């Protein structure tokens, strides 16, 4: 397959919803790249390693790393792509500082999986970057640099915790999981369970549990809860539904259970989140 080189701008960010990659061939950049999957699932090849990327997973791609996106199922996905050169942050580097925020690109893993709370935090940074990119207000370039530094420091602090976890890497496609993930993404409001999905997709509960973790980096319950809570956050901010209405809409039939899971993942109660208060 053809290998392409793309010359990058000092800073570029985009958020797109699509089903066909604009760069389907092997390619590399003269910039650092951060790819974050908002929704859907993809396979990503980076320097000979294959990653099955699902909603809430972030990829770090170093300068000149050969990579390629593959959408096996042709399903719609939404992703944020951020590219930047080190010179863009030159004002933040000093000779006496022993902390290098770019070292996260040289870690043992290209993958960082984010909890529901972490997804909201990271997506908020991306949204601010995109807003500054579009509005071009006074100080926009400097503010983008501040936001990028905040993101890199956050990721650098998180990586040591993740490296002990199993990588979200797959040497072969898990075809069953590739069918199960879209079903969860579209039907998270239903009463999903490991047993129900096992019966529906003709796979034993133990095999589904093990393969799901191997393929996505999340346990089945973790993934479902993250999808539901992330949607709940959107509804709490953008709808007039009651707390119980939000819980029911995203698939929780018990308000107490919803509150417990929400606080465990977001760090505050649904009511306080709606009011903009964090514990």
Report the run of H or E that residue 46 belongs to, with start and end. Answer: strand 41-46
| Mean pLDDT (the chain, rounded) | 84
Residue pLDDT, tens place only, 250-267: 999 999 999 999 988 888
Residue pLDDT, tens place only, 115-124: 888 999 999 9
- Give DSSP secondary structure letters for 251-265: T-S-HHHHHHHHHHH
Tokens for 236, please give them.
């709490």
The confidence band for 167, taking pLDDT boundaries of 50, 70 and 90, is very low
Q: Phi and psi at residue 12, in whole multiples of 5°? A: -155, 135
Q: CB atoms < 10 A from the CB of 269, how many?
A: 16
CA angle 176, 200, 225 (to 5 degrees): 75
CA 28 to chain centre: 21
Report the pLDDT value the prediction gives residue 267, as an integer from 0 to 100.
Answer: 83
pTM strictly above 0.75: no
Report the pLDDT value the prediction gives residue 44, as an integer from 0 to 100.
Answer: 86
Report the pLDDT value the prediction gives residue 122, as an integer from 0 to 100.
Answer: 95
Report the pLDDT value the prediction gives residue 185, as an integer from 0 to 100.
Answer: 82
The confidence band for 279, taking pLDDT boundaries of 50, 70 and 90, is low
Distance between terminal CA atoms of the chain?
A: 51
User: Mean pLDDT throughout 170-190?
Assistant: 75
User: Mean pLDDT throughout 239-253?
Assistant: 94
CB 49 within 8 A of CB 169: yes
By percentage, how much of the chain surpasses pLDDT 70? 88
Which residues, at least 6 apart from 151, have a Cβ–Cβ distance to it below 8 Å?
34, 122, 125
């Amino acid at each position: 397959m053809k290998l392409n080189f793309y010359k990058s701008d000092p800073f570029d960010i985009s958020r797109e919803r699509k089903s066909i990659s604009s760069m389907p061939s092997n390619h590399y950049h003269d910039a650092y790249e951060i790819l974050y999957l908002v929704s859907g699932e993809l396979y990503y090849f980076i320097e000979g390693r294959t990653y099955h990327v699902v909603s809430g997973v972030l990829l770090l791609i170093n300068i000149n790393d050969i990579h390629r996106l593959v959408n096996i199922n042709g399903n719609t996905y939404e992703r944020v792509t951020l590219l930047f050169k080190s010179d863009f942050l030159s004002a933040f580097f000093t000779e006496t500082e022993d902390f290098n925020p770019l070292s996260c690109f040289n870690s043992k893993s290209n993958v960082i999986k984010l909890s529901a709370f972490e997804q909201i935090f990271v997506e908020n940074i991306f949204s601010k970057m995109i807003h500054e990119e579009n509005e071009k207000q006074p100080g926009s370039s400097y503010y983008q640099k501040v936001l990028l530094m905040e993101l890199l420091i956050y990721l650098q602090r998180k990586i040591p915790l993740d490296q002990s976890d199993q990588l979200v890497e797959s040497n072969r496609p898990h075809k069953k999981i590739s069918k199960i993930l879209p079903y969860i993404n579209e039907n998270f409001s239903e009463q999903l369970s490991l047993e129900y999905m096992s019966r529906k997709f003709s796979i034993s509960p133990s095999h589904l549990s093990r393969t799901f973790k191997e393929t996505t980096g999340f346990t089945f319950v973790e993934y479902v809860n993250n999808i539901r809570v992330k949607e709940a956050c959107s509804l709490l901010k953008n709808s007039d539904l009651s707390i119980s209405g939000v819980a029911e809409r995203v698939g929780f039939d018990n308000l107490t259970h919803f509150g417990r899971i929400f606080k465990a993942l977001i760090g505050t109660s649904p009511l306080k989140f709606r009011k903009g208060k964090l514990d």
